[in-house]
Structure 1
Amino acid sequence: MEVDLELVLLVDVSRSMTERELEIQRQGYAAALRSDEVFAAVQSGLLQRVALTYVEWAGMQEVIVDWRLLETRADLEEIARLLTTNFDPALRRTSISEALIFGAAMIEGNDFEGLRKIIDVSGDGPNNQGRPVLRARETVLSKSIIINGLPLMTREGMGSQWHLDDLDVYYQNCVTGGPGSFVIPVLDWQDFAEAVRRKLVLEIASVPLLEQMLSAQYTPVSAYDCLIGEKIWERNQQIWNEP
């Protein structure tokens, strides 16, 4: 079936996230899906239908809501309901790269054909497992899939040793890409639901609206070290193994 958009939501549930943060994420996405603005964005497309899947990731991936067709408010409400059911509190390490590859495979393997294809990835730290994130990004972009980012820069949780002060810049330089791609950082958890609503509207709305969004909110840094997450992991491993 042809749709305006195939959208993969990749949501971080790695060990650095607290149960409170995980609950905020689920509730934030549910609230956004129930909003008038997101429903209007669905209706703004040529075909007025969107295919969406919601995946939680850490070192591995778990499909929470498999591909669903969104056309009506009832469709949006059903996904919101599914997101507010019980869930496991955390997984393990942070592999943005493998999450991206997983998302691309989901797009290639579904029964929809989108006029646009987007992977939307959130996370509170840099890649530290799996293939290098730049390699994964290039693979995804080569399939004409856009990658947007929602870096979580809240300084809360159990992962202070993994914290990256410029996570938004990391996402801009190492994770996101494609025509009209963007990064929306979350600096405080109380802003999360609004950031998700804004992000979904920008992604789902018709292309003319997308083109109004700045494609680069941060100036790319040509010398940015996209292996910083792996290096932080190695450094911490050495500290933990010291006698």
Structure 2
Amino acid sequence: MRWISIGTIAAAVTAAGMVAGLAAPNRAPQLADRPDDSKTVDVELILAVDVSYSMDMDELAVQREGYAQALRSSEFLKTLKTGPTGRIAVTYFEWAAAGDQKIILPWQIIDGPESADSVANEIMNAPLRRASRTSISGAINFAVPLFDQNPYHGLRRVIDISGDGPNNNGEPVTMARDAAVEKGVVINGLPIMVKEPSYSTMDIENLDYYYEDCVIGGPGAFVVTIKSRDKFKEAIRTKLVMEVAGLTPPGWIVPIAGQEKSARVSCLVGEKIWQDRWGR
């Protein structure tokens, strides 16, 4: 695949000057066009995190720690201040089946080290949980209305989906993705591929292809793949920095609008596996 190493991506965002000098895609109207600038943020960012049973407790803990450490990192805090407002609005929820989503962090503003630390603590202090099924479409459909339920006006609206398997519950993921993108939302992906595909956990090979072709969408959408446990935290930090800065990974090929990519992985592969095994 078009494998882009985390180190390569990180090199593109560590220089604050470069981050500040790059324009973010899909920007909303400028600050002067907003009726209340005090509610304007650079990004409305939704962190949607998979807690299905295919994720073991250690992975769930490392994933949580990864987000908390990313928010406290100097790279993230430096990038935060390169935007027009120097602040973002963020919410964090966990998801499994189509009707199973739990908000861990309600919408909050991050505008510096103190607020970032407060958000990180709130994420870390919530009890870990696991649940059945995997509905990426359910997570997207749950996420989109959250943008209209907060008082902030983001120059960009981004959903960050992390997970270790394909959609196997709820409506097809492409339907949810396309509906979100039509509303101006960008969906980025963090496919977790730290274990060998297992029949018992409904893992698939080439989950990165699946996320690229079936999950992400919108101008500048991208995937950062995690292929080893020791890269969890680095990948999450890199991804958050890029989302705040509005960057796309170096060498990432963004298809021309309306141009269909040839299918590499069926976007219904998860549903098919579930049907073949349990007939429902």
Q: Same fold (TM over 0.5)?
A: yes
Match of 2:84 among 42, 46, 51: 46
SS at match of 1:104: helix
2:269 is aligned to 228
Question: What is the CA-CA distance between 1:212 and the residue it aligns to?
Answer: 6.0
Instruction: Report the RMSD for the aligned CA atoms in angstroms.
Output: 2.1
For 2:197 and 2:105, the matched residues in 1 are separated by 25
Q: Per the alignment, do residues 201 and 159 of structure 1 end up closer, same or farther by CA in structure 2, a change over 3 Å counting?
A: farther
For 1:129 and 1:97, the matched residues in 2 are separated by 8
Q: Per the alignment, do residues 198 and 100 of structure 1 end up closer, same or farther by CA in structure 2, a change over 3 Å counting?
A: same
- Map residues 5-24 of structure 1 onto 2, 5 A cutoff: 5-24=43-62
Match of 2:71 among 33, 44, 47: 33
- Name the TM-score, length of structure 2 as normaliser: 0.79
For 2:92 and 2:248, the matched residues in 1 are separated by 25
Contact 1:183 1:217 in 2 (8 A): no
Tell me which stretches of 4 or more aligned residues in structure 1 moved more than 6 Å: 156-159
Partner amino acid, structure 2, of 1:177:
G
Question: What is the CA-CA distance between 1:216 and the residue it aligns to?
Answer: 3.8
Contact 1:182 1:216 in 2 (8 A): no
For 2:248 and 2:127, the matched residues in 1 are separated by 36
For 1:12 and 1:236, the matched residues in 2 are separated by 22
1:201 is aligned to 241
Question: What is the CA-CA distance between 1:222 and the residue it aligns to?
Answer: 3.1
Q: Per the alignment, do residues 86 and 50 of structure 1 end up closer, same or farther by CA in structure 2, a change over 3 Å counting?
A: closer
SS at match of 1:170: helix
Contact 2:222 2:248 in 1 (8 A): no
- Name the TM-score, length of structure 1 as normaliser: 0.91
1:118 is aligned to 158
Matched, 1:155 2:195: yes
1:80 is aligned to 120
For 1:99 and 1:26, the matched residues in 2 are separated by 17
Q: Which runs of 5+ in 1 are unaligned?
A: none
SS at match of 1:99: helix
- Map residues 179-218 of structure 1 onto 2, 5 A cutoff: 179-205=219-245, 207=246, 210-211=247-248, 213-216=250-253
Matched, 1:237 2:278: yes
SS at match of 2:227: coil
For 2:116 and 2:224, the matched residues in 1 are separated by 22
Q: Per the alignment, do residues 237 and 227 of structure 1 end up closer, same or farther by CA in structure 2, a change over 3 Å counting?
A: same
Q: Per the alignment, do residues 46 and 55 of structure 1 end up closer, same or farther by CA in structure 2, a change over 3 Å counting?
A: same
Contact 1:15 1:158 in 2 (8 A): no
The total of aligned residue pairs comes to: 236
1:178 is aligned to 218
Contact 2:61 2:128 in 1 (8 A): no
Contact 1:180 1:213 in 2 (8 A): no
SS at match of 2:176: helix
Q: Per the alignment, do residues 223 and 163 of structure 1 end up closer, same or farther by CA in structure 2, a change over 3 Å counting?
A: closer
Partner amino acid, structure 2, of 1:226:
C
Q: Per the alignment, do residues 19 and 161 of structure 1 end up closer, same or farther by CA in structure 2, a change over 3 Å counting?
A: closer
Question: What is the CA-CA distance between 1:237 and the residue it aligns to?
Answer: 1.2
